């Protein structure tokens, strides 16, 4: 990607922009102190205000200050260029609100910035803010800055129509669907402007799957800037302790995506390597530990119910293969009775049951108030696998709307994959279980959420029963979203 000819820059702009880092340090504040840009932030802001390239992409890990850099770059473009139409499009209302808040906060960092607003006055800050349009900020020299959301309008995206842009920024571009990108967003740059008004398209995100973002990245039409965790740590923008913790808690696929900035396996569906399965089969079994039972109930006449017990000791899990039960064609009452009998014999700490279909009836039988349920009611944990994942994910809050997972089934499958990857589980050499593990897939949805599925001609009863047994609800610590394993 070749840079644009900068010869048309004014002398004033040229003088101001010789050192973007120093300029930002003079104009902007963070927590009351002059801003100190990381090298990648300076590179992005410099490209924005010089309009060095007509198309620019930033592919980076999260929580490193990219939104902060973009907000400062937007303000500088608004101050320096007359007749600018600056448009920032975020994938969600939430993200648009974050960018607007960053911009709004910086408008009062320096009198030169505040005085460039058309609403400028000597009134208190709150009164000046009250005059700002939530969606559009007007600057002197006939320049406007709009912060839009792809969720606006009915249907979603209709609110993007009718806007022109000379500087177009797509925040979390990977979350914008292809149709919206091609039919409603790119047209913003289409209007012909006066001579010497140059345009720039900037896209920012973390690629989780193939779409317009990855097509653009590999097209050669954009100037690409990539900031993985190593660069972010080196430039002082990311805590190495958080990275190390992420490496322990995330699957390698997730870590490659969110921290290494790699499109894992070109985002073909991710299968569990045979080496992980083989290691789990050959791993020495635990002889004792907390007993937990996972249950995948049967559908009448079409399926089998599988009851899989495990030992859990700390982070280690062992499938108790010689105690696995497979029951053909049972009613909810019969299955409940079998579970009670196993619990009387083995005294489980937790009984995790898929409460969909016939499982719901079994759950009702096990939890209803009765003498026969006195010892078991408090042990039973209901799993509705198609419901939302159990907790939001603050770790990756800049990247993921509500959770790391598309649904609870994806969370449960990912937990099992992480145990296999880390070598923290031993399993029995059950041909059906091995086949189902080999056919299990993890991939990212278009919204950047992990999805899990198992392909085959029959229901993955053995796999699901084991996955339910290994599952524990997640816990949240201030710095991380943790899958307890």
What pLDDT digit, counting tens, does each position of 423-444 carry?
999 999 999 999 888 888 777 7
* pLDDT tier at 16, thresholds 50, 70, 90: low
Boundaries of CATH 3.30.420.240 in the chain? 269-482
- Domain range 6-238, CATH architecture: 3-Layer(aba) Sandwich (3.40)
Instruction: Tell me the mean pLDDT in the region 22-42.
Output: 92
pLDDT score of 347 more than 80: yes
Copy the structure tokens of residue 139.
Answer: 């600057």
CA neighbor of 335 nearest in space, from 346, 327, 343: 327
Position 401 scores a pLDDT of 33
Highest mean pLDDT: which of 131-135, 142-146, 356-360?
Answer: 142-146
Provide the Cα torsion 172, 178, 184, 188; round to 10°.
Answer: 60
Position 6 scores a pLDDT of 45
CA neighbor of 20 nearest in space, from 46, 57, 41: 46
What pLDDT digit, counting tens, does each position of 163-200 carry?
899 999 999 898 888 888 988 899 998 877 666 678 99
**pTM of this structure:** 0.67
> Domain 269-482 carries which CATH code?
3.30.420.240
Boundaries of CATH 3.40.50.300 in the chain? 6-238
Position 179 scores a pLDDT of 87
């Amino acid at each position: 990607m070749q840079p644009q000819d900068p010869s048309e820059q004014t002398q004033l702009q040229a003088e101001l922009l010789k050192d973007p880092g120093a300029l930002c340090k003079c104009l902007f504040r963070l927590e009351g102190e002059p801003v100190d840009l990381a090298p990648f932030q300076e590179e992005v802001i410099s490209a924005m205000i010089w309009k060095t390239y007509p198309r620019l992409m930033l592919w980076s890990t999260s929580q490193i200050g990219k939104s902060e850099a973009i907000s400062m770059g937007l303000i500088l473009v608004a101050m320096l260029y007359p007749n600018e139409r600056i448009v920032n499009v975020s994938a969600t209302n939430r993200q648009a609100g974050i960018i607007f808040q960053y911009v709004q906060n910086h408008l009062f960092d320096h009198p030169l910035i505040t005085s460039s607003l058309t609403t400028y006055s000597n009134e208190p800050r709150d009164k000046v803010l009250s005059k700002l349009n939530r969606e559009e900020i007007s600057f002197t020299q006939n320049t406007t800055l709009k912060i839009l959301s792809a969720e606006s309008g009915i249907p979603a995206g209709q609110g993007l129509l009718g806007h022109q842009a000379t500087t177009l920024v797509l925040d979390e571009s990977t979350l914008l669907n292809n149709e919206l990108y091609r039919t409603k967003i790119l047209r913003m740059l289409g209007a012909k402007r006066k001579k010497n008004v140059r345009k720039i398209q900037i896209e920012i995100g973390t690629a989780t799957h193939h779409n317009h973002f990855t097509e653009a990245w590999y097209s050669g039409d954009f100037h690409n800037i990539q900031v993985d965790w190593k660069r972010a740590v080196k430039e002082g923008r990311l805590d190495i302790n958080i990275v190390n913790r992420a490496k322990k808690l995330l699957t390698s696929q997730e870590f490659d995506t969110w921290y290494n900035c790699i499109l894992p396996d070109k985002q073909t569906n991710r299968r569990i390597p045979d080496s992980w399965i083989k290691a789990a089969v050959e791993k020495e079994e635990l002889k004792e530990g907390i007993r937990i039972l996972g249950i995948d109930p049967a559908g009448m006449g079409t399926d089998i119910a599988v009851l899989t017990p495990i030992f859990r000791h700390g982070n280690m899990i062992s499938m108790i293969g010689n105690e696995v039960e497979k029951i053909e064609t049972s009613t909810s009452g019969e299955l409940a009775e079998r579970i009670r009998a196993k619990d009387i014999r083995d005294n489980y700490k937790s009984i995790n049951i898929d409460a969909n279909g016939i499982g719901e009836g079994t759950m009702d039988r096990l939890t209803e108030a009765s003498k026969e349920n006195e010892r078991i009611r408090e042990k039973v944990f209901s799993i509705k696998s198609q419901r939302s994942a159990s907790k939001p994910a603050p770790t990756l809050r800049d990247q993921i709307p509500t959770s790391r997972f598309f649904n609870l089934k994806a969370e449960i499958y990912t937990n099992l994959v992480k145990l296999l990857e880390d070598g923290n589980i031993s399993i029995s050499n059950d041909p059906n279980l091995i086949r189902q593990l080999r056919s299990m897939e993890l991939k990212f949805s278009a919204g950047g959420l992990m999805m899990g599925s198992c392909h085959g001609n029959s229901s993955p009863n053995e796999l699901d029963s084991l996955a339910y047994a290994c599952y524990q609800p997640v816990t949240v610590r201030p710095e991380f979203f943790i899958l307890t394993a």
